[in-house]
Amino acid sequence: MKKFEEYLVSKGLSGNTVRSYLSDLALFFRFTGSVNIKRNHVFSYRRYLQDQGKNASTINRALSAIRKYGEFNGQYDLVLSDDFITIQKTYSSPVVVTEKDVAKFLRSLKKWDSYRNYCIAVLIVNTGLRISEVLNLKLFDFANLSSGEVIIMGKGNKQRKVVINNGARDVLEYYLKNERKKYKYAAVSDYVFVSNKAGKLNPATIQRVFKEHDPRIYPHMLRHFFATNVYEKGLLNLRQLQEQLGHSKLDTVQKYTHPNRNTMIENLNSKEASFV
């Protein structure tokens, strides 16, 4: 398993994916009672997961883990593409927060919490960055902040340029100039967002802070909100949004562009859409 873990890391998979694959594989080995696996074991395990009521996404992730293990072992036919369960492509559940909700959330953070946490929220909602990407930002990343772009090291160690709009830039510049120096580790840490307990903030800390201000809002929700907001307003097309969010596939980006039902009803009832 240790060698398999090293293999996954060498393929550029994220830490979360590696941990998920190792966990899935451990459950599979427990089911088969052996590490010497064959295709009939895969079929039996898939049927077992279906009988347990697992959804298609969970089953497909387990199959992906087994397939990676097969590649690692040279068993390239252990799991084939046809073994995966086809999922009807659809949009995710609509965003459950509105612009008013987000504005109220940001006001609450700014008034009652630290400016640091407010700055983090503003960055996510204006750029669509992942919380891990925000907390990994270092001071040298903003050496040329006036350009309106920053280079991000994203998921799978993929580098991309992300646009930071004027509003987010103003908030960030204020934080860097006036607020960051108040933290204990500010002088010795290269990270933009620091705490009094460590040189780098833990994502769980921000998750907890956000929940205190609005239980419905968490960092990844703000990423979804950003994508839906800029897409529905026509500020970015899908290809541009793909680049900003850092996804290699367009169909992945579409999961972030939740259709707003009120907007759909309004648009389809407009004069331009009516033919009678």
- Residues tagged active-site: 130, 155, 220, 223, 247, 256
For the chain, the first-to-last Cα distance in angstroms comes to 65
Closest listed residue to residue 158, CA positions, set 8, 10, 14: 14
* Beta carbons within 8 Å of 275's beta carbon, 6+ residues apart: none
Question: Closest by alpha carbon to 64, among 5, 17, 14?
Answer: 17
Contact at 8 Å (CB) between 214 and 105? yes
Cβ(253)–Cβ(245) below 8 Å: yes
CA 264 to chain centre: 26
What residues are paired with 160 via a beta bridge?
152
Cα(39)–Cα(16) distance, integer angstroms = 26
What the block records as the tokens of 266 is: 């309004």
Question: Left if phi > 0, otherwise alpha if psi is -120 to 50, otherwise beta: which for 55?
Answer: beta
- Structure tokens of 106? 């940001």
Tell me if 272 sits within 8 A of 257, measured CB to CB. no
